[in-house]
Amino acid sequence: MGIDNARVPEETCKFMNIMWPDGKDQFCEVVNSYAKLLGDLNEMVIEMAFESYGAKKHYASLAATNSHVLRFLKFKPQETEVACVRLPAHKDLSFATIVHQIDVAGLEVQLKDGTWIALQPQLSHFLFMACEGMQVWSNDRIKACNHRVNILGNGERYSMGLFTFNNGVIQVPDEMVDDEHPLLYNPFDHPRFIRFFINADMAIKANNPTKAFCELPQIPVIDFSKEELKPATSSSLLSLCNQIQYALENHGCFIARYDQLSAELSKKIFSQTKDMFEVPTEIKMKNTSHVPYRGYHSGPSNPNMPSFEGLGIDNATSLEETQKFMSLMWPAGKDQFCEVVNYYAKLLGDLIEFIYEMVFESYGVRKHYASFAASNSHVLRFLKLKPKDASLTTNIRLQSHKDLSFGTIVHQVDIPGLEVKSKDGTWIAIQPQPSHFVFLASEAMQVWSNDRIKACNHRVIMSGNGERYSLGLFTFNNGVIQVPEELIDDKHPLLYKPFDHPEFIRFFVNGDLATRLNNPIKTFCGV
């Protein structure tokens, strides 16, 4: 049996009136006082947990939407005196639970190594257990406690428990997310989770229902910080090749962790990016190119979308090209612009070329890499998403699309928003992290790989109305890309004719909307 909001005297009295319509001496006073005692203890423990993780500022909002259910449990006598599991192993669905055994033992908890430990009842002892809601909130730093009741003997056993449920949505605090603890869960609607669990089949209930309900699909994180970005000749790089190939074939993208991107460099490039968008529009429009999408670009084409601006430096790994761009924006020069931007572009250029070489190596076609790399150029683009107009209701700030490049590295800097589409159609949000870039396979890589790698569909979603800055390095091939013979076999028949990359860009720009939306590479060069 249970009393919802048992710390509220009226709720306790309602329960009493159901059980004993004529009343019961001292019931309300005793039970309500007991519920308040457990509630105060429970709230103090949870607040201390928030404090211990440096997330105390989030506690008040969680506590304001919590409710406590006081439950009373009776185990009836059994026919045998042999020890028997009277309540199967389980994890509570609440945020947290306090259990009071009173006098008869039976409660057991499971340790990490699988061992079951019996807890003996003692005067003034309660057991606090983390539950499914806390596991989500803590981003798996705290695991829900698996427990059961195992009673020796045939007597009765009584126990009580205070269960804390949140009446809203629990989100993993930013403080709980870092390189070692990537975000694991979508926002957790606690009442909806209870309904999900009740209606789920037995397999889901038994096999981590929380993950089935709100686990965040994960994009692989590949660490490049330990590797020297040199030609792929070492056998130690085999694992890296395999990781990259797996990520691209299954996700079309991955997160590249690269410590060369220091917090200081990130701050400097962000500052330079903001400054360039402060330049008057008539000057920014001088950033032109004979190739579409490489110079100044503003939008959107859809009037129902918030506006954005983009600037680009062609061949940004060349110091001369960076200087030309600076001279357009600031004829009198700008302190540190060339040093910061060119260093940053070279950093991304080295990383993206290393990734391409690993891709070629992973498919056994490294002999083709040198000729491919010799005709590549990299465009460094800067994107500003402007605050959305109050009349717009959409949170989509950049529509879903696939890049026209061979591959793209995206740097979100500090404001999230980038989402990538998984094979099953799910949109996966990628959180910005220090030293993290996102590598996206693009249309030309799909052609080159003969569809073994699919171009990554992505978009930008923002719930607020602020500005957002991001940067991207786009690789374009200045010649013709052909599917290597090694990537053609019975399972992978040739799907594409030779692919003239510059011509494809022009084809896309001049094509109608239907062509752009309906697999333009197949239309352009499909067999």
Phi and psi based region of residue 451 (left: phi greater than 0; alpha: psi -120 to 50; beta: remaining): left
Pick 2-170's CATH classification: 2.60.120.330, 1.10.150.120, 3.40.50.1100, 1.10.150.530: 2.60.120.330
Q: What is the model's pLDDT at position 229?
A: 59
pLDDT of 517 strictly over 80: no
Backbone angles phi, psi at 176, to 5 degrees: -95, 5
Angle at which helix 263-277 crosses helix 337-362, to 10 degrees, equals: 120
pLDDT in tens, 166-175: 999 999 998 8
User: Quick check: 127 and 83 in contact, CB under 8 A?
Assistant: no
pLDDT at 351 (0 to 100): 96
| Average pLDDT of span 91-101 | 96
Q: How confident is the model at residue 353 (pLDDT cuts 50, 70, 90)?
A: very high
- 169-173, 181-185, 193-197: least confident range: 181-185
Nearest 5 degrees, angle CA 168-CA 88-CA 96?
A: 30
Residue extents of the structural domains in the chain: 2-170, 237-525
Asked if the model's pLDDT at residue 305 lies above 70, the reply is: no
Overall average pLDDT of the 15-44 stretch: 95
Element containing residue 116 per DSSP (H, E) = strand 116-118
Structure tokens at 148: 């059961």
User: In which band, very low, low, confident or very high, does the pLDDT at 415 lie, cut at 50, 70 and 90?
Assistant: confident
Task: Give 189's strand partners.
Answer: 169
In this structure, of 1-15, 59-73, 141-155, 352-366, the range with the lowest mean pLDDT score is: 141-155
The count of C-alpha atoms lying within 13 angstroms of the C-alpha of 34, restricted to the half-sphere facing its C-beta, is 21
Predicted local confidence at residue 48, as pLDDT: 97
What local confidence, expressed as pLDDT, does residue 89 receive? 92
Q: Answer yes or no: is pLDDT of 231 > 60.
A: no
What are residue 124's DSSP bridge partners?
Answer: none
3-state SS track over 71-106: EEEEECCCCCCCCEEEEEEECCCCCEEEEECCCCCC
pLDDT tens across 453-478, in order?
A: 999 999 998 877 778 999 999 999 99
Would you say residue 248 has pLDDT above 90? yes
Q: Which two tokens stand for residue 420?
A: 């990538």
Q: What is the pLDDT of residues 41-74, one digit of tens each?
A: 999 999 999 999 999 999 999 999 999 999 999 9
Tell me the average pLDDT of the chain: 90
Question: Residue 360: which region, alpha, beta or left (left: phi > 0; alpha: psi -120 to 50)?
Answer: alpha
pLDDT (average), residues 233-250: 83
pLDDT at 54: 95
> Is the predicted pLDDT of residue 526 greater than 90, yes or no?
yes
Contact (CB, 8 A) for 435 and 448: no
The rounded distance, in Å, linking the Cα atoms of 468 and 397 is: 10
Give yes or no for residue 232 having a pLDDT over 60: no
pLDDT at 205 over 80: no
- Nearby residues of 190 by Cβ (< 8 Å), 6 or more positions away: 95, 133, 165, 166, 167, 168, 169, 170
237-525 homologous superfamily: B-lactam Antibiotic, Isopenicillin N Synthase; Chain (2.60.120.330)
- DSSP letter at 497 equals -
Residue whose C-alpha is closest to residue 1's, from 23, 9, 16: 16
Q: Is the pLDDT of residue 230 over 80?
A: no
User: What's the CA gap between 276 and 336, in Å, rounded?
Assistant: 13
Domain pair 2-170 / 237-525, same fold: yes
Q: Which two tokens stand for residue 372?
A: 């491919």
Is pLDDT larger for residue 235 or for residue 498? 498
One-letter amino acid for residue 289 of the chain: S
What's the average model confidence in pLDDT over 305-320? 88
User: Strand pairing partners for 156?
Assistant: none
Q: What is the DSSP letter of 58?
A: G
Look at residue 233 and tell me whether its pLDDT is greater than 70. no
Mean pLDDT computed over 342-369? 96
Mean pLDDT of 486-507: 95
Tell me the pTM. 0.67
Asked which of 12-26, 253-267, 391-405, 497-511 is least confident by mean pLDDT, the reply is 391-405
CA distances in angstroms from 282 to 17, 83, 278, 329, listed in the order given: 77, 84, 11, 10
* pLDDT of amino acid 236: 62
Provide the pLDDT confidence category of residue 303 given band limits of 50, 70 and 90.
Answer: low
Helices (H), 394-464: 443-448
Percent of the chain with pLDDT over 70: 94
The residue count for the chain: 527
Average pLDDT over residues 253-276: 93
More confident residue, 266 or 79: 266
Q: Is the pLDDT of residue 302 over 70?
A: no
Residue 519: the pLDDT is: 86
Q: Encode pLDDT of 134-147 as tens digits.
A: 999 999 999 999 99
- The H-or-E segment that residue 410 falls in is strand 407-411
